[in-house]
Amino acid sequence: MSFASDVRGELARTPMEDACCARSELTAALLCGGGIAWRGRERYAVTFTASEAPTVRRYFAMLKRFYGIIGQIRALSGDTLNNQTRYQLAVPEEEALELLHRLELLDEGGLFGLRALPVDETIRNNCCKRAFVRAAFTMCGAISHPDRDYHIEIAAPSEALAGFIALQLNSFDIEARVSSRKSKYVVYLKRAEDISDMLSLLGASKAMMAFENVRVKKEVSNRVNRQLNCDNSNINRSMNAAEAQIRDIRYIDSELGLEKLPRTLRDMAYTRANNPEMPLAELGELMDPPLGKSGVNARLRRIAAIAEKLRCGDEVKL
């Protein structure tokens, strides 16, 4: 099961208490799902087709409870493209016109006598706006698993409908945008907060929690990684070898006192501390007796090892 089908499954089980919302949800399902076909003068075929059985069972229950219509459910065998079974709820032909009338989707001036958008009354209340977007998502929506990407979209069949859906989301302070893709107009959200808000707005609270869990985990690990990268790059950037040596010498001085070092190392430490920029070969010439570059290097490494032991709390043998 994909995350998207989990979400659709949860939406299909959200409670349906109010007639106003049922009307809005059925209207959106028909407009977004392309479920109204004109069959000639005042004759229409009205169907709800979805990829999940619980979705059509929900609309079946709504039609029965709020409109007294007993629809017919059947499984459509998979098409050749993806071989996926789909489910269809058909409204009896003699009741189709009456249903469209009660949903106020008929319009003498419209294409095939139909409205392209619902009347204002359909989405008057916030509960009905929510219901409208819920069905729009159920019928033509998609959501990525948050592990992969933050993306939720509704691919509406017309530009007007896409704009209408975006408007409903915006009215809840959810930032929705519209772009066109092939023959569809896609309403989409990209910001994680908006996706999370939309899931809870639609009533998919389990999916919202799952989404939030992934999001928190991702954000924590991103923060940790950023911190690590930052520490590493700071060290690499700011600390060349000479700076590291001087840092070690100061540390030994504060923790142990440079006086405690054997004379050869103590002289080396003072010489380096007094000449922070000087190349190793020149440092060697200042020593008494003079020292080659590799000899200087060896002593600085012993100093570094002592500092490291002090930092780790290990015993330092001098």
State the Cα angle at 298 between 293 and 301, rounded to 5°.
125
Cβ distance 115 to 107 under 8 Å?
yes
Q: Find the radius of gyration of the CA atoms of the chain.
A: 35
Beta carbon nearer to Zn ion, 133 or 186: 133
Two tokens, residue 85: 């079974």
Q: Which conformational region is residue 266 in: left (phi greater than 0), alpha (psi within -120 to 50 degrees), or beta?
A: alpha
Interaction of residue 249 with Zn ion, rule CB under 5 A: no
Q: Which stretch binds Zn ion (CB under 5 A): 32-40, 126-134, 194-202, 223-231?
A: 126-134
Q: Which stretch binds Zn ion (CB under 5 A): 30-38, 117-125, 140-148, 283-291?
A: 117-125
Beta carbon nearer to Zn ion, 18 or 212: 18
Least Cβ distance, residue 22 to Zn ion (angstroms)? 8
Using CA atoms, how far apart are residues 149 and 192, in angstroms rounded to an integer? 9
Strands 86-90 and 44-50 come out as antiparallel
Q: Could you say which of 51, 125, 275, 297 contacts Zn ion (CB under 5 A)?
A: 125
Site string for Zn ion, 170-209 (x = CB under 5 A): ----------------------------------------
How many C-beta atoms surround the C-beta of residue 32 within 10 A?
A: 25
Q: How far is residue 110 from each of residues 32, 47, 144, 244, 288, measured CA to CA in Å?
A: 17, 20, 36, 79, 102
Least Cβ distance, residue 21 to Zn ion (angstroms)? 4
- Listed in sequence order, the residues at least 6 apart from 213 whose beta carbon sits closer than 8 Å to its beta carbon are none
Beta carbon nearer to Zn ion, 27 or 271: 27
Q: Which stretch binds Zn ion (CB under 5 A): 1-9, 10-18, 80-88, 250-258?
A: 10-18
Least Cβ distance, residue 15 to Zn ion (angstroms)? 12
Name the residue among 33, 172, 145 with its Cα closest to residue 90.
33
Size of the residue set binding Zn ion (CB under 5 A): 6
Q: Which stretch binds Zn ion (CB under 5 A): 122-130, 141-149, 264-272, 289-297?
A: 122-130
Q: Could you say which of 123, 128, 208, 252 contacts Zn ion (CB under 5 A)?
A: 128
Q: Could you say which of 73, 97, 127, 304 contacts Zn ion (CB under 5 A)?
A: 127
Using CA atoms, how far apart are residues 186 and 30, in angstroms rounded to an integer? 17
Using CA atoms, how far apart are residues 166 and 176, in angstroms rounded to an integer? 5
Least Cβ distance, residue 132 to Zn ion (angstroms)? 9
Asked if the bond preceding 289 is cis, omega within 30° of 0, the reply is yes
Q: Which stretch binds Zn ion (CB under 5 A): 91-99, 124-132, 146-154, 161-169?
A: 124-132
Q: Which of residues 12-71 bind Zn ion (CB under 5 A)?
A: 18, 20-21
Q: Which stretch binds Zn ion (CB under 5 A): 84-92, 121-129, 169-177, 244-252?
A: 121-129
- Residues forming the site for Zn ion (CB under 5 A): 18, 20-21, 125, 127-128
